Amino acid sequence: MPNDLKLSRRNLLVRGGAAGAAVLLGGCDQLSQSRSVRNVLDSAEGLTQAAQRLLLSRRALAREYPESALSAHFRANGSITVNDPTYQAQVETGFADWRLKIDGLVARPTELSLAELRRLPARTQITRHDCVEGWSAIGKWTGARLGPLLQSVGLKPEARYLVFHCADTLEGDLYYESIDLIDAFHEQTILAYDMNDKPLPVPHGAPLRLRVERQLGYKMAKYVMRMEAVASLAAMRGGRGGFWEDRGYAWYAGI
């Protein structure tokens, strides 16, 4: 067994949590490419059958659809614009000066322009968006894969969650959301800059929104300005990990 796998396994057992497993599974390209996830999990004696099943199911892909299934109209929901002069000015210039800030528990805090984001490893997917309010729509999303991006900025070992800070305000509070590392390293988790082959329109979260396809719509933060890696969500805002979570919605909104 290679040394780094041993280390990761130790890390996994010590931390005992699913986030450790995500680092193991998502953080080692060679492994995930050369062997099936099941083999890797079978070799981790410290994981119970139940934990293995949970991890395997959380790594499963959301259903993807053909172009013919695209919704003629994709509803925009929640904030459909941002009432902030800085944002309005950025819209005017096509987000030329806009930067995504990446900070918190990362080895190399960084700021990325849209052009830089567009050069990162990308993925395109046609998926169904399900809103908790009872509507769905099928859209095509293209964006930077979060896993490789996180590998390039380097997560510190204490990092367990990613928080997405948005530009818009609802009920007087800035929108925010968070996901764990299993979802962060999921193959379909992207920071989307294109919708239906065009730059993301303002009502859908320009210039950048999260797509985390195994969860409900409210997890898919629009108008993302900053991504912060944290060890815990307890001290942040209402302490429940998101704008709607602080108002009683489930933090894990799996579908």
| Residues of this chain that bind Mo ion (CB under 5 A) | 131, 217-218
In the chain, % helix, strand, coil (3-state, to 5) comes to 35, 25, 40
Among 143, 147, 217, 241, binds ligand MTE (CB under 6 A): 217
Q: What is 139-198 written as a DSSP string? A: EEEEEEEHHHHHHHH-B-TT--EEEEEEEEEETTEEEEEEEEHHHHTSTT-EEEEEETTE
DSSP state at residue 232? -
Rounded to the nearest whole angstrom, what is the least distance from the CB of residue 76 to Mo ion in the complex? 11
Q: Is 223 in the site for ligand MTE (CB under 6 A)?
A: yes
Smallest separation, CB 214 to ligand MTE (Å): 15
Residue numbers 125-144 binding ligand MTE by CB under 6 A: 131
User: Applying CB under 6 A, does 226 fall inside the site for ligand MTE?
Assistant: no
Sheet holding 173-180, edge to edge: 110-112, 100-104, 224-230, 161-170, 173-180
Q: Which of 14, 69, 96, 170 binds ligand MTE (CB under 6 A)?
A: 170
For the beta carbon of residue 13, count every other beta carbon within 10 angstroms: 13
Closest by Cα among 140, 114, 112 to 126: 140
The reply on whether position 70 binds ligand MTE by CB under 6 A is no
3-state secondary structure of 76: coil
25 is an interface residue for ligand MTE by CB under 6 A: no
| 76: contact with ligand MTE by CB under 6 A | yes
Q: How far is the CB of 27 from ligand MTE (least distance, A)?
A: 27
Q: Which residues bind ligand MTE (CB under 6 A)?
A: 75-79, 131, 166, 168, 170, 175, 203-204, 217-218, 220-223
